[in-house]
Amino acid sequence: MKSNLLDFDAHALTGYFTEMGEKPFRARQLMRWIYKEGEHDFSAMTDIAAALRDKLAQCACVAAPNIMREELSGDGTRKWLLDVGTGNAVEAVYIPEETRGTLCVSTQAGCALDCAFCSTGKQGFNRNLSVAEIIGQLWWANQQLGKDADGNWKISNVVLMGMGEPLLNFDNTVSALRLMLDDHAYGLSRRRVTVSTSGIVPAMDRLREECPVALAVSLHAPNDKLRDTLMPVNRKYPLKALLAACGRYLERAPRDFITFEYVLLDGVNDSLQQARELVQLVREVSCKFNLIPFNPFPQTHYRCSGQDAVCRFRDVLMEAGIVTTTRKTRGDDIAAACGQLAGLVQDKTRRTAQHFAEVS
């Protein structure tokens, strides 16, 4: 079987060439062709020796997941369904804005965490994505979108907020992050790459040490009792441990704040008292809040908070000096909004307890 070079970060690719008896600089050459030029055909890599190009054609490939379907929202958001084999597919979403283009990337086929308000979690969990399947979403999206007038890829920001919990696929996620950051690959700033986590505390500490990027934490409740109900992960990593991990992360983070994501659910977590409780909860963590309108999906009993409730909740946080934004819903007409990504997941039997056992 040919080696998929999208599976290798710079360190792994250098080792691959060393085993072939080639000089380490070949890894940097190849990365520039694959990521900066978007090239997958070795014969087109003209500054690589012809003999090496022939050798690579025999033993290696550059293979991103195939696009099964593309949908375009009325607001310009694009969603791609990507085939990751054995009946599974994941979704990636591109969100264009005036000053940036953001790609939302998946890291797992399904999700093991089963958060009560998330369509992705209701799909169950099949497996972790490989490095090639994660970075391949960015590679494919760049091919589809092309470059701007200055010759730059149109994707300026990447958020790992698609299907799955990135920190439960730690090693592959970090290898993909390193490719996003590497100057010989995509060269993105650490401030422009964001990992979203539901609060896997040991992995947050590892990320802090190995590859600190911007961090977003899915909070969604001001106390353990409610968060236990909404997010089963809280029973393993409760709020006290989670907030302590956020404080530690800030010591190495490229930004001087943690973003807390908070989906507002009508009559569940959106009261003024809960907003005040939230202020007290995060008072020792430098943070900002991103309030997210709930995006309904079939078979859910939750409802989106009304606009008045959203404004009142936001005002309590802002009056306490916490920078608070309300996320504009994008791509909801093609089920591409927050919490709506579902993809196609087969063999959904590997649920939370088993997956936690595998990573602890």
Catalytic residue among 22, 70, 338, 358: 338
pLDDT of residue 75: 84
- Domains of the chain (ranges; CATH) run 3-61 (1.10.150.530), 66-359 (3.20.20.70)
pLDDT of residue 338: 47
Catalytic residue among 91, 133, 165, 261: 91
Residue 161 has pLDDT above 80, yes or no: yes
State the average pLDDT for the chain: 90
What average pLDDT does the segment 319-334 reach? 77
Q: What is the pLDDT of residues 4-34, one digit of tens each?
A: 999 999 999 999 999 999 999 999 999 999 9
Q: For 113-127, 139-153, 242-256, which range has the lowest pLDDT when averaged over its residues?
A: 113-127
* 358 annotated active-site: no
- Report the alpha-carbon angle 168-128-35, nearest 5: 100
pTM for this predicted structure: 0.90
* 338 annotated active-site: yes
Closest to 228 in 3D by CA, of 192, 199, 270 = 199
Q: What is the pLDDT of residues 253-271, one digit of tens each?
A: 999 999 999 999 999 999 9
Give the confidence band of 332 by pLDDT, cuts at 50, 70, 90: low
Residue 274 backbone zone (phi > 0: left; psi -120 to 50: alpha; other: beta): alpha
pLDDT of residue 335: 52
